[in-house]
Amino acid sequence: MNAAKADLNKDLESLIRSGASNDLTAFIQDLPQVEVIRSISRLNHEDQTTLFALLDPPEAREVIASLPEPAAVQVVENLTPAQAGSIVEGLRGDKNADLLGHLAEADATAILDTLTPTKAQEIRRLMTYPPHSAGGLMITEFLSFPDHYTVRDVLEDLYLKGDAYSDYNIQYAYVVSSGTKKKLIGVLRLRDLLLALRGRNITEVMITQPIFVNVQEPAEFLKRLFDTHNFLGLPVVDVQGELVGVVTRASVERHMAKQSGQVLLKIGGIVGGEEFRTMPLARRSSRRLSWLSLNVVLNIIAASIIALYQDTLVQVIALAVFLPIISDMSGCSGNQAIAVSLRELTLGLINPRELRRVILKESAVGIVNGIALGALLAGVSILWKGNPFLGLVVGSAMALNTILSACLGGVIPLILKRRKIDPALASGPILTTVTDMCGFFLVLSLATLFLGRLT
C-alpha cells in the first residue's frame, strides 16, 4: 500500500512536469477525493503552482474548495495573483473571503486587484466581518426580489436566470424594499409560490416580520437558533437593516466542528494556528517549541520545590519514586475536570461565574477518587518498603492533591473564560504547575514531619 501511494505521487509529479493539461485534469478527476487532498498537500511548492496553472479553472476551484483551509491558503500563497484571482473569483462568497483573510495583506490586495471592482469590493466587505460572526459565516448568493414584484415576475426571473441560480440554495427567497437601501421586509417560501395565483403581489404571499440575524451575532447564538428552530437558513442584515447575506444551518454546524478540532489541537499544545506535517519544518518546530519552552520554565519552577527538601529526600530516597507519580496523577485528575468544564462551557450548560457550584461538584468526585488513589498508592508503598508511615505520607499527599486538582481543573477554564483568555490553551499548563508544586510540597513536607518514623 505504501508503494502504491508512492507511485501515485510519482505519477502526479511526472504529469505535472510533462505539462499535459488535459491528462492532468482527467487524472485528478479520476482520483478519490481523499487521495487528491493527500497527494496535493505533499507536492513541493513549485509543483503545486504548476499544477494549478495547468488544471482546468473549474477543476482547480473544486480542488481548492475541498482542501482544508491551511492547505488551501498555502497553495494560493504560491500562485501568481492572476492565477489566484481566477480561482478565488469562482469560490462561494464565504470561502473566498476566508481564504484571502488568511493571506498577508499585500498578497490579498494583489489578488483583489486582478478582479472586477464590484467583486473585489464585495469580497473586501466580507473580509471586514470576524470569521466567528454571522457576517463571516454568511453566503452572499441568495435570491431577493423588490416588493413591487408579482408572483409571475418572480417565476419569470427564476425561469430566465435558472442556470445562474443553479448553485443557490433557493429554499427561500427574500423580499426587499424597492428604495436604494434594500431593507428586508419578508420571506418567500418557494412552496408558497407554487400554490399562489400568478398575478398576486409577492408581499401578499410572503411571511411578514421574518426572523433575521444581525451581521455581528456570534456563531454560538446562531447555533442555538438552529438547534431550536427548523430553519435551513436565516437572512443576515447589516446595521442599517439592509439584507446582506444568508447564513445556513450547515455552515454554522461546520464552523462549530472546526472550532472543536482547534480546541483539540490547543489542548495538545499545538498553538499559534493549525499544524499539518506538510508545513515547513521551521514553522512546525518553532510553534511547538514556543509552547514547550513556556512549559519547561513552569516545570522548573514547580520542581524547585523539590530542591528545598533535598535533605529529606537523601534520607528517604524512596520518595523520589513517588514524586513523578503524584505529579502525573494530579495532572490526569485535573485534566478530567478541565475536559468536563470545557465541554459544559461549549454546550452552554454552565455559566463562567458558577465557581461555587463547580467546586462543590468537583470536590465530591475529588474526595471519592482521592481516597481510592491515595489508598492504592499507600498500599503499594507499604508492600514495597514495609513502612506504614511511608504509606501514610504518600497516600495522604496523593488524596489531598487529587481533591485539589479536581477543583482547580474544574474552575480554571471558567476563570480564564471570564478573563477572555482561551481556556483550551492555558488551562493545562496552569493546572499542572500549581498541582505539581502542591503535590511536591505535600509529599516532602509530610515526610519531613514524620522523618523520624521514615528512616
What is the pattern of x (binds a second copy, CB under 8 A) and - over residues 66-95?
Answer: x-x--x------------------------
**From residue 243, how far is each of 76, 104, 184, 234 by CA, in Å?**
31, 30, 5, 11
Taking CB under 8 A as the binding criterion, the range among 99-107, 111-119, 127-135, 260-268 that sits at the site for a second copy is: 260-268
Strand partners of residue 145: 175
Strand partners of residue 174: 144, 187
∠ CA 401-407-409, nearest 5°, is 95
Task: Indicate the residue among 62 and 111 with the shorter CB distance to a second copy.
Answer: 62
Q: Enumerate residues 205-234 that contact a second copy by CB under 8 A.
A: 224, 226-228, 230, 232
Q: Which residue has the cell 489508598?
A: 375
Task: Indicate the residue among 21 and 286 with the shorter CB distance to a second copy.
Answer: 286
Question: What phi and psi, each to the nearest 5 degrees, are found at residue 183?
Answer: -75, 140
Q: Determine which residue in the list 314, 388, 421, 453 makes contact with a second copy, applying CB under 8 A.
A: 314
Task: Indicate the residue among 116 and 351 with the shorter CB distance to a second copy.
Answer: 351
Task: Indicate the residue among 253 and 422 with the shorter CB distance to a second copy.
Answer: 253
∠ CA 248-87-20, nearest 5°, is 135
Residue 278 C-alpha cell reads as: 506538510
Q: Provide the edge-to-edge strand list for the sheet that holds 213-214.
A: 213-214, 233-237, 243-248
Contacts with a second copy by CB under 8 A: the residue count is: 122
Q: Enumerate residues 382-441 that contact a second copy by CB under 8 A.
A: 384, 432, 436, 440
* Nearest-approach distance from CB 302 to a second copy, in angstroms: 8
Residue 172 C-alpha cell reads as: 427561500
Please, what sign has the CA dihedral across residues 124, 130, 131, 135?
negative
Is residue 442 within 8 Å of residue 401, measured between CB atoms?
yes
Taking CB under 8 A as the binding criterion, the range among 53-61, 74-82, 128-136, 258-266 that sits at the site for a second copy is: 258-266
Taking CB under 8 A as the binding criterion, the range among 51-59, 115-123, 211-219, 337-345 that sits at the site for a second copy is: 337-345
Q: Determine which residue in the list 13, 122, 354, 422 makes contact with a second copy, applying CB under 8 A.
A: 354
* Nearest-approach distance from CB 179 to a second copy, in angstroms: 28
**From residue 342, how far is each of 37, 203, 255, 419 by CA, in Å?**
31, 46, 17, 15
Q: Determine which residue in the list 104, 106, 164, 195 makes contact with a second copy, applying CB under 8 A.
A: 195
Q: Enumerate residues 263-292 that contact a second copy by CB under 8 A.
A: 263-265, 267-270, 274-278, 281, 284-285, 288-289, 291-292
Strand partners of residue 207: 187
